[in-house]
Structure 1
Amino acid sequence: METSDAMCIRIEEAMVLGRGTRLLAGAMTVVCMVLVGPSAPSGALFVRSLPVHAVRDVVPNRVMTWNICNPCAKNHVDRAAEIATYAPQVIGLQEACVRDVERIRDYLKSLYGLVYHVEYGMVLRNWGRCGGAPWSPGAFGQAVLSAEPMTDRVNVEYPYGGSEDRGYMAVTTKVGGQSVRVFNTHLAHRRQEAVRADQIGVLAADVARHDRAIVLGDFNAVPDAPELTRIWALAADTDPQCHPSPAGTCKPTTDWHSKFDYIFLRGIAPLKHRVQPTPYSDHHLLQTDLDPT
């Protein structure tokens, strides 16, 4: 059965086809409003009102990481609105299903005029998380959306995934007009320190090959966790006050008040960053504006 998000997209597409089809689409408007619910405020079908401070176009030097939470009973209109509020040039998503990312990208374009390319770094097929037919479940893992085209994608599944398959992906794209290698990862669950240490070793070996790199993701570890030592040796957190030592002051990025989400920078300087709690995931939005020079 088609989801409410997908049905709304079909209706929106139908509205541009012809008079007869537009009449049918109009008749379905009420249905779609019920399905989407509070995401469609009065007078703005499908669209959740963006805050006054929301930007209106992609910010070319802004990057974001967000574990969108899966499974979570949230709709993609809300997720798209959260991203559109800040309109980053590059977004790394974790716990993402291909179908979910496709719908989020569709809404970003159709509702907010934000056009993104997408590349996937899927590590498993899981019917419980991503739906689909039992014999053909949806793909689950990471995704990168970029306003600029991406090249040289690699997708690596870690040799040791822990309790669930995990991996990283990497692409080359532009941030602030400058070419940069972007990594997106999701490390093993909490209380699997040894597994994460092995995963960091695999990731760090690839990051070290690049003079300019951005490493996004959910590392499932606090800043002073020993398993993060190798990535700290290569890159700095986007927050200049956040260090892997008791002297560091790191803003939490999860509902349980831990910092698990990072934007590590190698050969790139940050200008400002923001941690934004959201009701649509148990992880906060983490974004940063970069100095591309």
Structure 2
Amino acid sequence: MRAHSEEAMVFVRGMRLLAGAMTVVCIVLIGPSAPGDALTAKPLPAGAVKEVVPNRVMTWNICNPCKASNAGRAADIARYAPQVIGLQEACVRDVESIRDYLKYRHGLVYHVEYGSVLRNRRRCGGAPWSPGGFGQAILSAAPMTDRTNVEYPDGGSEDRGYLAVTTTVGGRSVRVFNTHLAQRRQESVRAGQTRVLAAEIARHGRAIVLGDFNAVPDAPELAGIWALAADTDPRCLPSSLGVCKASTDWERKFDYVFLRGMTPLRHGMQPSSYSDHHLLHSDLPMA
């Protein structure tokens, strides 16, 4: 009996070691299931809004690959607490982490929709047979409906597209778009992409168009968007008369909150240590 008992103990130890080894392998291949630092409650950032601002929208290219802290990204968002946030260069796993930090550390609860246009392990991690999704995401404090995710016929040097949802901003239903156009020096590709996007925007009397357009305001490929909507900054125009503040670390305005059928109350832009793009937000009239 003792021999059988010892054999059983050896078997149990072996199974524990095997389970431990498999856990290590999974973490190496897939990455940890939780953010790097614990989701414990901490004080809000200085000046942070303690509740979602119901008429505020924001766009932010969170930069990838940048190895930035999702806790830091969430803290930057919490500082302004928009009703709707459009993120570009967003990995699904990063967005999940950011949303968790916003909820458990900052008390801000968001629904999320994804507009992934490619699956890429180099950018987003994941197992070799299941790489992470990469593209756009929209976070909204109100539920979202009628999700549409469109990949542009020509993405240029990397797949690109737009994500659209219907949600509530300022107490009114509105169609929200979030896009990321082709990289710089691909003007003709972006022109094709904006034609696709503009045709869909034109179907809606009220629309908010968020995104990184990778083009300065007077770029010819943005003409179709300007014909339908205005920038949240009334001084920013698609001509030499406009005064448009840079939205990137390299002093170019590439990021926009275009508004169709509505007039902004105010807007703001803030650099971030977690991205090479600034956070751009706009407050709209309440219903």
Match of 1:169 in 2: 163
Task: Measure the CA separation in 1 of the matches of 2:63 and 2:43.
Answer: 20
Task: Measure the CA separation in 2 of the matches of 1:292 and 1:160.
Answer: 38
Are 2:275 and 1:270 aligned?
Answer: no
For structure 1, list consecutive stretches of 5 or more residues without a partner in the other structure.
Answer: 13-44
Match of 1:90 in 2: 84
Task: Measure the CA separation in 2 of the matches of 1:173 and 1:149.
Answer: 6
For structure 2, list consecutive stretches of 5 or more residues without a partner in the other structure.
Answer: 1-26
Q: Is the 8 A contact 1:253 1:260 kept in 2?
A: yes
Correspondences of 1:51-200 after superposition (within 5 Å): 51=46, 53-200=47-194
TM-score (norm 2): 0.87
The alpha-carbon deviation at position 135 of structure 1 amounts to 1.7
Runs of 4+ in structure 1 over 6 Å off: none
TM-score (norm 1): 0.86
Match of 1:50 in 2: 45
Task: Measure the CA separation in 2 of the matches of 1:284 and 1:48.
Answer: 23
Q: Is the 8 A contact 1:47 1:77 kept in 2?
A: no
Match of 2:196 in 1: 202
- The count of aligned residue pairs is 258
Q: Is the partner of 2:96 in helix, strand or coil? A: helix
CA shift digits 1:76-119 (9 cap, x unpaired): 10000000000000000000000000000000000011000000
Q: Is the partner of 1:270 in helix, strand or coil? A: coil
Aligned alpha-carbon RMSD (Å)? 1.3
Task: Measure the CA separation in 2 of the matches of 1:292 and 1:170.
Answer: 22
Are 2:35 and 1:6 aligned?
Answer: yes
CA shift digits 1:247-275 (9 cap, x unpaired): 10001000000000000000011000001
Task: Measure the CA separation in 2 of the matches of 1:4 and 1:133.
Answer: 13
Supply the AA of the counterpart residue of 1:119: E
CA shift digits 1:163-189 (9 cap, x unpaired): 000000100000011000000000000
Task: Measure the CA separation in 2 of the matches of 1:134 and 1:222.
Answer: 37
The alpha-carbon deviation at position 48 of structure 1 amounts to 6.7
Report percent identity of matched pairs: 71
